[in-house]
Amino acid sequence: MFVSFWVHMLTSLIEFISWFWWLSGDGRLFGFWAGSIGWWGSVAVMPIPVLFAIFQLAFDTRMGGFRGNF
């Protein structure tokens, strides 16, 4: 949850703020952020916390998981 929160803040919140700047006429930050950091953050980094949660539910207790006991 902690990692998911900060990844979302880094990618989505900054893109949301820069979108308002784009609406006011300055679209340089929005164009840069949405095309590079925002896109890679959404596609490559945001699934990582979900995968870690799945790993914890699926792995055996020796490997740090719950061994299927939800």
Residue 8's pLDDT is 85
CA-nearest of 47, 14, 50 to 32 is 14
Instruction: Name the band, by pLDDT with cuts 50, 70 and 90, for residue 68.
Output: low
Question: What's the structural domain count of the chain?
Answer: 1
For 23, the domain range is: 2-63
Q: Would 19 be classed as within a structural domain?
A: yes
3-state secondary structure of 69: coil
Q: Would 68 be classed as within a structural domain?
A: no
Q: Where are the beta strands (DSSP E) in 6-70?
A: none
| Predicted confidence (pLDDT) per residue in 27-65, tens digit | 899 999 989 988 998 898 888 888 888 888 888 888 778
Residue 53's pLDDT is 83
Residue 23's alpha-carbon distances to 16, 18, 44, in angstroms, are 11, 9, 27
Q: Would 70 be classed as within a structural domain?
A: no
Q: Would 45 be classed as within a structural domain?
A: yes
Residue 21's pLDDT is 92
